[in-house]
Amino acid sequence: MASESVVIYWLRNDLRLADNPALTAALATGHAVLPVYIWSPEEEGDWAPGAASRVWLHESLKRLAKAYEALGSRLVLRQGDSAETLHALCDAYGTTTVFTSRRYEPHALHQEARVRDRLKGEDVTLQVFNGSLLNAPDAVATQAGDPYKVFTPYYNACVKKGEPDEPFSAPQKIPAPKQWPASDALADLALVPDHSWVEKVRQHGTFGEATAQELLDTFTDDAIIDYPELRDRPDVSGTSGLAPHLHFGELSPRQVWHAASAYRLSGEDARPGNEAYIRQLYWRDFAYHLLYYFPNTPEEPLKPMFAPFPWVEDDEALQRWQRGQTGYPFVDAGMRELWETGWMHNRVRMVVASFLIKDLRIHWREGAQWFWDCLFDADLANNSLGWQWVAGCGADAAPYFRVFNPFSQGKKFDPDGEYVRKWVPELAQVPDKYLQTPWEMPPIELAACGVTLGKEYPHPMVDHGEARKTALAIYDELKAAK
């Protein structure tokens, strides 16, 4: 084939048609476009997608393939080395340009560099576009040119840059090559783990670009009004549920920003909810800003003074936390929700993380790894930021002396006990007064509710008050020694 008769669009975490700068640029060449997704978990090292993410990826690719077919194209699936796969395709088609969206995780940047070097040797250009963030990590810096470590000044700097560009529309047609290369079947990628858990968690997923757009429309039309008041309530539907869609690129942050901002400007019914929600988009950018400049944060504390913390290695305690058997109902509800649905409410994420780190004194990396495997929206930047934030060892972290109280958090944010009763059904008959602290209920009355501690529901693993004192004493020693 003649050179440049076909350009290649290499999909990564940009599984959508609308507002896709890399795809738009490929189409702008006027040549046929060959879309290819390459499954290469070995190139992602320790942070290859976890089980829940792989389920989501499988379902998203399935839906995206149908969307491509509807536009007269196909989604070619391959597995193996990205650089060699793209080189072979370029060689077969005489292609001199590959378009892709940039990912900012350390392993993904390394992958991109390998691909660029391999293609450059064959006079093939790799054109890369930011389609996953409002601002690329290196597009925002302090006046001294340094990266930010505190969110508020970072946010203010982003706001000063002005509004994001308007999103691109989805293409109406994608010109196809005259001949298609061989493609692996989706099942050949073996993304879906062979585990009975899969069917349970799959039914809770809202996969694909079309569903993502529906969720965005519903949220910005209605729920965003009460977002500031309800976002911390796991017993009600007060959040958008868009995190996995943003992670896999089924929606762009520009689409979300403009949808929320349009509501803000919609007249006398406008409420401040969109401001609070839009701020979360910049928190997401901030997480990538940190990961880009401090690539060791998935493994090491950003603040070195916390490195000597004497973590406890206790596999049994870790497993009880993972299974939602800690004896603290609010914590257990969150862990069971995660296992059943591939998602956990953000307020509860903070509480369960604090319990693991500061009550059990188990390393935050253990929690980050469990979230990585169980969350649909497992995202290296956000996961690392969140766990280090709770541990007190990261950027813009909660004060190290803040220890979330699992029962007072439950009483405040699950006031009617609906969340706990849903996910810890053995406590369904326990009255509100004792629901978050069943050990305080007289045993005879508790038995009348069908519960005997140590049988239907466990005793608390630790005494929260004593655990808090111990953790704070250790933190004070580290602070004094720095």
Which residue type, as a one-letter code, is found at position 168? F
Flag whether 114 is in a domain: yes
Q: Which residue has the tokens 């290296």?
A: 380
Distance (Å, whole) CA 197 – CA 50: 13
Q: CB atoms < 10 A from the CB of 236, how many?
A: 18
Give the per-residue pLDDT at 264: 55
Helices (H), 123-162: 151-160
- Among 293, 328, 360, residue at a domain's last position: 293
Flag whether 202 is in a domain: no
Give the per-residue pLDDT at 274: 83
Does residue 405 carry a pLDDT above 90? yes
Flag whether 276 is in a domain: yes
Cα within 13 Å of Cα(291), Cβ side: 24
Burial of 183 (0-12, 13-18, 19+ CB in 10 A): middle
Confirm if 381 and 133 have CB atoms less than 8 A apart: no
Is there a single domain that holds both residue 113 and residue 218? no
Flag whether 179 is in a domain: no
CATH of the domain at 225: 1.25.40.80
Is there a single domain that holds both residue 26 and residue 150? no
Q: Which tops the pLDDT comparison, 399 or 453?
A: 453
The two tokens of residue 65 are: 């393939």
The two tokens of residue 54 are: 């792989």
Flag whether 177 is in a domain: no
Cα angle: 179, vertex 182, 184; to 5 degrees: 145
pLDDT band at 272, cuts 50/70/90?
Answer: low
Is there a single domain that holds both residue 80 and residue 137? no
- Tell me the residue length of the chain: 482
Distance (Å, whole) CA 431 – CA 148: 47
Query: 434: closest CA among 456, 458, 455, 410?
Result: 410
Flag whether 98 is in a domain: yes
CATH of the domain at 438: 1.10.579.10
Which structural domain, as residue segments, surrounds residue 446?
A: 304-481
Flag whether 313 is in a domain: yes
Is there a single domain that holds both residue 451 and residue 355? yes
Q: Which residue has the tokens 């006398």?
A: 268
> By three-state DSSP, how is residue 405 classified?
coil
pLDDT band at 395, cuts 50/70/90?
Answer: confident
- Of the listed ranges 22-36, 114-128, 217-231, the least confidently predicted one is 217-231
What are the backbone dihedrals phi and psi of residue 297, each rounded to the nearest 5 degrees, phi first? -65, -20
Percentage of the chain modeled with pLDDT above 70: 96
Distance (Å, whole) CA 79 – CA 105: 20
Distance (Å, whole) CA 431 – CA 464: 22
Is there a single domain that holds both residue 161 and residue 139? yes
- Highest mean pLDDT: which range of 228-232, 319-323, 393-397: 319-323
Is there a single domain that holds both residue 123 and residue 138? no
pLDDT band at 248, cuts 50/70/90?
Answer: very high
The two tokens of residue 88 are: 């072979």
- Among 267, 293, 319, residue at a domain's last position: 293
Give the per-residue pLDDT at 396: 75
CA dihedral 430, 433, 434, 435 (to 10 degrees): 60
Give the per-residue pLDDT at 398: 65
Is there a single domain that holds both residue 157 and residue 246? yes
Distance (Å, whole) CA 121 – CA 48: 28
Does residue 128 carry a pLDDT above 70? yes
Give the per-residue pLDDT at 271: 53
Mean pLDDT, to the nearest integer, of 119-134? 96
CATH of the domain at 64: 3.40.50.620
Mean pLDDT, to the nearest integer, of 70-74? 98
Is there a single domain that holds both residue 147 and residue 265? yes
Does residue 269 carry a pLDDT above 60? no
Query: 9: closest CA among 59, 71, 55?
Result: 71
End-to-end alpha-carbon separation of the chain, Å?
65
- Among 268, 293, 318, residue at a domain's last position: 293
What are the backbone dihedrals phi and psi of residue 302, each rounded to the nearest 5 degrees, phi first? -65, -35
Does residue 267 carry a pLDDT above 60? no
Distance (Å, whole) CA 358 – CA 299: 18
Mean pLDDT, to the nearest integer, of 132-160? 96
Handedness of CA 249, 255, 259, 261 (dihedral sign): positive
R_g (Cα) of the chain, nearest Å: 24
Which residue type, as a one-letter code, is found at position 330? F
Mean pLDDT, to the nearest integer, of 20-27? 98
Is there a single domain that holds both residue 262 and residue 332? no
Does residue 193 carry a pLDDT above 80? yes
pTM: 0.95
Is there a single domain that holds both residue 219 and residue 264? yes
pLDDT band at 2, cuts 50/70/90?
Answer: very low
Give the per-residue pLDDT at 225: 85
The average confidence (pLDDT) of the chain is: 94
> By three-state DSSP, how is residue 98 classified?
strand
Mean pLDDT, to the nearest integer, of 269-282? 79
Query: 164: closest CA among 281, 28, 247?
Result: 281
What are the backbone dihedrals phi and psi of residue 453, each rounded to the nearest 5 degrees, phi first? -60, 135
The percent of the chain in helix, strand and coil, each rounded to the nearest 5, is 55, 5, 40
Cα within 13 Å of Cα(372), Cβ side: 18
Is there a single domain that holds both residue 401 and residue 263? no
Does residue 3 carry a pLDDT above 50? no
Give the per-residue pLDDT at 222: 80
The two tokens of residue 134 are: 């409002």
Distance of CA 327 to the CA centre of its chain: 28
Name the β-bridge partners of 453. Answer: 457
pLDDT tens for each residue of 103-125: 999 999 999 999 999 999 889 99
Query: 462: closest CA among 320, 360, 334?
Result: 360
Give the per-residue pLDDT at 397: 65
Flag whether 172 is in a domain: no
Does residue 298 carry a pLDDT above 90? yes
Is there a single domain that holds both residue 63 and residue 84? yes
- What's the total number of domains in the chain? 3
Give the per-residue pLDDT at 195: 87
Distance (Å, whole) CA 129 – CA 98: 11
Pairing of strands 32-39, 6-11: parallel
CA distances to 17, 187, 315, 332 from 68, in Å: 8, 18, 46, 42
pLDDT band at 263, cuts 50/70/90?
Answer: low
Confirm if 54 and 193 have CB atoms less than 8 A apart: yes
Query: 86: closest CA among 50, 58, 128?
Result: 128
Cα angle: 310, vertex 333, 386; to 5 degrees: 45
